[in-house]
């Protein structure tokens, strides 16, 4: 599974704009980021530290372009992030 997300990180780094291009999906068009962002946010709750690190890394790469999916899910993200200190 981590290999899959590692490849996802590479795609986000090399071609982040492609995640915002609408792709025909049946009768409607969908942006890949609309599917990717919620799944990445779910990884914040994973017991696997490497999965959480990859999720943060990928979201960090996406944040520069601020895809609409990230903006739409910001409220979902807030409770998942626990600050320690």
Contact indicator for 50, 60 with CB cutoff of 8 Å: no
Q: For 29-83, how does the pLDDT look when each residue is reduced to its tens digit (9 = 90+)?
A: 888 888 888 888 888 888 888 888 888 888 888 777 766 777 777 666 655 555 4
Q: For 18-27, how does the pLDDT look when each residue is reduced to its tens digit (9 = 90+)?
A: 777 888 878 8
- Using CA atoms, how far apart are residues 33 and 70, in angstroms rounded to an integer? 8
Residue 60 tokens read as 């960090």
Name the β-bridge partners of 29: 24
């Amino acid at each position: 599974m981590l290999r899959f997300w590692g490849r996802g990180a590479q795609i986000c780094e090399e071609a982040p704009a492609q995640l915002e291009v609408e792709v025909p999906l049946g009768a409607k068009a969908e942006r890949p980021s609309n599917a990717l962002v919620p799944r990445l946010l779910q990884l914040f709750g994973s017991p696997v530290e490497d999965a959480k690190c990859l999720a943060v890394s990928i979201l960090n790469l996406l944040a520069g372009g601020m895809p609409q999916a990230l903006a739409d899910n910001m409220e979902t993200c807030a409770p998942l992030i626990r600050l320690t200190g």
